[in-house]
């Protein structure tokens, strides 16, 4: 019997992040180029047409929006390249340790690694909130009342997958589940 169970956590390298980083980049480049074209009073690219677009205030505002969009886009690409939020949850019955590892931004806290003794864990908690921004999360509940999140942030997983994963973890650790009605 395998006494180690590992669940990989997807970080920022999701399709939606690639999509929004690309859309914001191309949109902001367009705004920036139109703003610069109005400043130089000539077309920088042949597909841009200027009809009575003065630099002050329209061109300056478009340049500002373009610059802001480029900064946001670069930040999104930076988080994608660093894969912020990725990691794993490891449940090891051989040495009685649960390890939760996540990657963050560069610095002294780039790698966040939490380890808990299996004997300190009271149960697995499932939290489900439906609505405009639904939440479906699994937590480790520790004896000192802390709740450590185990699921990824962002796209909610299906209720069946959530329940199945919680049952697998609880059975593997030989503890109960809280939150299932």
Bridge partners of 129, per DSSP, are 135
User: What's the whole-model pTM score?
Assistant: 0.83
- Give me the chain's average pLDDT, please: 90
CB 21 within 8 A of CB 80: yes
pLDDT at 2 over 60: yes
Same domain, 172 and 92: yes
Same domain, 106 and 165: yes
Per-residue pLDDT tens over the stretch 53-112: 788 899 999 999 999 999 999 999 999 999 999 999 999 999 999 999 999 999 999 999
Longest dimension (CA), the chain: 75
Which of 55, 82, 109 terminates a domain? The answer is: 82
Same domain, 77 and 125: no
Query: Residue 97 belongs to what domain range?
Result: 87-178
Q: How many domains does the chain have?
A: 2
Same domain, 93 and 71: no
- Please report the pLDDT score of residue 76 as a whole number: 97
Which of 67, 82, 97 terminates a domain? The answer is: 82
Nearest to 122 by CA among 165, 179, 181, 161: 179
* CATH at 118: 2.30.29
Reported as type and span, the H/E element at residue 138 is: strand 135-142
Cα 175 → chain centroid: 29
Residue 2 covered by a domain? no
Same domain, 92 and 174: yes
Using CA atoms, how far apart are residues 121 and 148, in angstroms rounded to an integer? 10
Q: What one-character DSSP code corresponds to residue 43?
A: -
Residues 6+ apart with CB under 8 A from 1: none
- Please report the pLDDT score of residue 44 as a whole number: 67
Same domain, 110 and 174: yes
Which of 82, 100, 130 terminates a domain? The answer is: 82
């Amino acid at each position: 019997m395998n006494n180690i169970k590992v669940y990989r956590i997807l970080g920022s390298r999701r399709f939606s992040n690639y999509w929004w980083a690309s859309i914001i980049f191309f949109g902001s480049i367009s705004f920036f180029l139109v703003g610069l074209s109005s400043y130089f009073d000539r077309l920088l690219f042949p597909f841009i047409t200027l009809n009575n677009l003065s630099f002050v205030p329209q061109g300056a505002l478009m340049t500002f929006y373009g610059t802001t969009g480029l900064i946001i886009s670069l930040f999104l690409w930076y988080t994608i390249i660093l894969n912020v939020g990725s990691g794993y949850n490891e449940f090891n019955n051989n040495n009685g340790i649960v390890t939760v590892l996540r990657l963050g931004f560069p610095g002294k806290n780039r790698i966040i690694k939490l380890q808990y003794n299996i004997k300190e864990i009271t149960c697995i908690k499932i939290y489900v909130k439906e609505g405009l921004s639904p939440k479906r999360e699994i937590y480790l509940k520790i004896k000192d009342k802390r709740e450590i999140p185990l699921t990824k942030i962002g796209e909610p997983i299906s209720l069946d997958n959530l329940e199945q994963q919680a049952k697998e973890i609880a059975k593997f650790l030989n503890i109960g589940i809280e939150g299932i009605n």
